[in-house]
């Protein structure tokens, strides 16, 4: 996750694109291509994930985070570089999370499970979580497929590079943002600092409480955010999934789709529950920027390409460690 300045004002909500996946394929393709080019963020409705499954997701998430600390931490300490484990609330991060990657990775993906089992409650719900994660992966690959024609690659190009059964840094994360206390207000911290995600796509599920803020397309996405910028709120849209483009796809596209800065706002008197699926390319997939009008900028900002997706992630983790990013997070 790439950090950014923290003292940025927010603005009234603007219209992040909303795309109905029940429309004819040509309309969907045009809408997704436009949203990825202009915003890097969009909502999906009629996405095919059953409402009952999403309801079950919130039941599991709320119940898990209500457990005693020792039960939540039973699977071992959090490892940000591996997308695995439980991380408790921190003095400057009013958020706890559980990253499931090491436990829900497909058996053929070459990921060795931790010695510890999942926390007992999550172990009881392993089959549900695994099935939901697989559905998210399929949806993410479907979305990438709508970008292929506009990027000038053959049909199935991204599906071949995002195979669920092959090693990747794909992760399904459960999140709980606690109420914003006076202690956090005194530190003037965001609930999650400004960042871009490192993978291909992120699918975000928000239960009921808003908080996500997005850098709007009025700003040049090639520049770093500044304290004078005005960001917009991304409201909770009932039955919709919020999708954003990650750095890997931004680079892959030669800069023709955006990887947009986003954060979780300061304040908030209520608990906020979220879940996110981070879709990453298979580790051996080679990310080579496609030739576009902005590809020279991409090669200047992200030197060393082409490189494998695994090397891309390792480089980003190393950069984050060097920056002493206290909220290190592979998104």
Tokens (6 digits) for 232 = 């917009």
CATH superfamily, region 10-218+231-322: B-lactam Antibiotic, Isopenicillin N Synthase; Chain (2.60.120.330)
Supply angle C-alpha 98, 55, 199, rounded to 5: 45
Q: What is the mean pLDDT of residues 99-103?
A: 88
Tokens (6 digits) for 269 = 């008197």
Contacts of 58 (CB under 8 A, 6+ apart): 207, 273
Supply angle C-alpha 48, 53, 56, rounded to 5: 160
CB-CB neighbours of 327 under 10 Å: 18
How far apart CA 265 and CA 13 sit, in angstroms, is 13
Contacts of 2 (CB under 8 A, 6+ apart): 195, 196, 198, 247, 316, 320
Position 107 scores a pLDDT of 66
User: What are residue 97's DSSP bridge partners?
Assistant: 87, 175
Q: Kindly list the domain boundaries of the chain, sorted by start residue.
A: 10-218+231-322
Supply angle C-alpha 208, 204, 329, rounded to 5: 115
Predicted structure pTM score:
0.90
Tokens (6 digits) for 242 = 């919020």
Tokens (6 digits) for 105 = 């990775």
Write out pLDDT tens, residues 135-172: 999 999 999 999 999 999 999 999 999 999 999 999 99
Q: Cβ distance 247 to 197 under 8 Å?
A: yes
Q: What is the mean pLDDT of residues 217-229?
A: 83
Tell me the three-class secondary structure of the chain, residue by residue: CCCCCCCCCEECCCCCCEEECCCCHHHHHHHHHHHHHHCCEEEEECCCCCHHHHHHHHHHHHHHHCCCHHHHCCCCECEHHHCEEEECCECCECEEEEEEHHHHCCHHHCCCCCCCCCCHHHHHCHHHHHHHHHHHHHHHHHHHHCCHHHHCCCCCHHHHCCCCCCCECCEEEEEEECCCCHHHHHHCCCCEEEECCCCCEEEEEECCCCCEEECCCCCCCCCCCCCCCCEEECCCCCCCEEEEECHHHHHHCCCCCCCCCEEECCCCCCCEEEEEEEECCECCCEECCCCCCCHHHHHHHCCCCCEEHHHHHHHHHHHHHHCCCCCCCCC
pLDDT of 80 over the 80 cut: no
232 φ, ψ to 5°?
A: -115, 155
pLDDT of 331 over the 60 cut: no
Write out pLDDT tens, residues 166-188: 999 999 999 999 998 888 877 77
Confidence of residue 38 (pLDDT cuts 50, 70, 90): very high
Indicate the average pLDDT of the chain.
88
Position 4 scores a pLDDT of 45
User: What are residue 79's DSSP bridge partners?
Assistant: 84
Q: Cβ distance 95 to 177 under 8 Å?
A: yes
With CA atoms as reference, report the closest residue to 285 among 256, 328, 251, 329.
Answer: 251
How far apart CA 310 and CA 203 sit, in angstroms, is 21
């Amino acid at each position: 996750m790439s950090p950014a300045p923290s003292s940025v004002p927010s603005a009234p909500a603007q219209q992040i694109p909303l795309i109905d996946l029940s429309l004819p394929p040509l309309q969907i393709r045009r809408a997704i291509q436009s949203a990825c080019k202009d915003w890097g963020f969009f909502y999906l409705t009629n996405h095919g994930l059953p409402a009952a499954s999403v309801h079950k997701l919130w039941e599991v998430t709320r119940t898990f985070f209500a457990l005693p600390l020792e039960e939540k931490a039973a699977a071992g300490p959090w490892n940000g570089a591996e997308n695995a484990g439980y991380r408790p609330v921190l003095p400057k991060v009013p958020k706890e999370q559980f990253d499931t990657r090491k436990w829900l990775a497909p058996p053929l993906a070459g990921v060795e499970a931790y010695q510890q089992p999942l926390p007992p409650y999550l172990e009881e719900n392993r089959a549900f979580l695994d099935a939901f994660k697989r559905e998210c992966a399929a949806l993410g690959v479907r979305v990438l497929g709508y970008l292929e024609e506009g990027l000038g690659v053959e049909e199935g190009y991204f599906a071949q590079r995002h195979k669920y059964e092959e090693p990747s840094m794909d992760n399904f994360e459960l999140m709980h943002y606690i109420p914003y206390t006076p202690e956090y207000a005194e530190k003037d911290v965001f609930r999650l600092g400004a960042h871009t995600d490192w993978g291909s796509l992120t699918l975000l599920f928000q239960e009921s409480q808003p908080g996500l803020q997005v850098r709007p397309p009025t700003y040049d996405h090639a520049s770093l955010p500044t304290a004078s910028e005005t960001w917009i709120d991304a409201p909770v849209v009932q039955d919709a999934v919020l999708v954003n483009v990650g750095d890997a796809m931004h680079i892959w596209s030669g800069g023709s789709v955006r990887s947009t800065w986003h954060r979780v706002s300061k304040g908030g008197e209520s608990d906020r529950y979220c879940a996110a699926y981070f879709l990453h390319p298979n580790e051996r997939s080679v990310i080579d920027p496609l030739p576009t009008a902005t590809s020279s900028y991409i090669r200047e900002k992200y030197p060393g390409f082409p490189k494998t997706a695994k090397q891309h992630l390792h480089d980003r983790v190393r950069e984050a460690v060097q920056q002493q990013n206290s909220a290190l997070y592979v998104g």
